[in-house]
């Protein structure tokens, strides 16, 4: 079964990686749960990414999107692939043809 990366928006700023992981454990195994933070201050940006299997992702989207968590209404979506970020793109070379994958 494939893993799915989920975007979680409108998170309370005090939410930790562990709290986020616990929230998603009810749907299945959580491969990773990362609250995105400012580098300088370490303060949460109010969103995160969680990686779970496909079935867990479907359940989480169904049950968490537009529902309240810690007095905030969450936005839960399948994460879009990163584009236009030079650090996240790889180039695959096959003979003389290069293919930009856009994934890590």
Q: How many angstroms separate the CA atoms of 14 and 44, rounded?
A: 7
pLDDT at 87: 57
Q: What is the mean pLDDT of residues 19-37?
A: 97
A 10 A CB-CB count for 100 gives 9
Mean pLDDT value across residues 36-50: 96
- CATH, domain 3-79, list 3.40.50.700, 3.40.50.150, 3.30.70.330, 3.40.50.300: 3.30.70.330
Question: What are the tens digits of pLDDT across the range 75-87?
Answer: 999 998 877 655 5
Q: Structure pTM?
A: 0.77
* Exposed / middle / buried, residue 93 (Cβ in 10 Å: 0-12, 13-18, 19+): exposed
Return the pLDDT at 44.
Answer: 96
């Amino acid at each position: 079964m494939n893993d799915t990366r989920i975007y979680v928006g409108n998170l309370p700023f005090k939410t930790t990686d562990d709290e986020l992981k616990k929230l998603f454990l009810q749907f299945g195994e959580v491969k990773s749960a990362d609250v995105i933070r400012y580098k300088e201050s370490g303060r949460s940006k109010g969103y995160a990414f969680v990686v779970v299997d496909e079935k867990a992702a479907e359940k989480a989207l169904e049950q968490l999107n537009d529902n309240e968590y810690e007095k905030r209404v969450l936005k839960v979506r399948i994460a879009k692939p990163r584009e236009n970020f030079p650090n996240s793109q790889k180039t695959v070379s096959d003979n003389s043809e290069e293919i930009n994958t856009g994934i890590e």
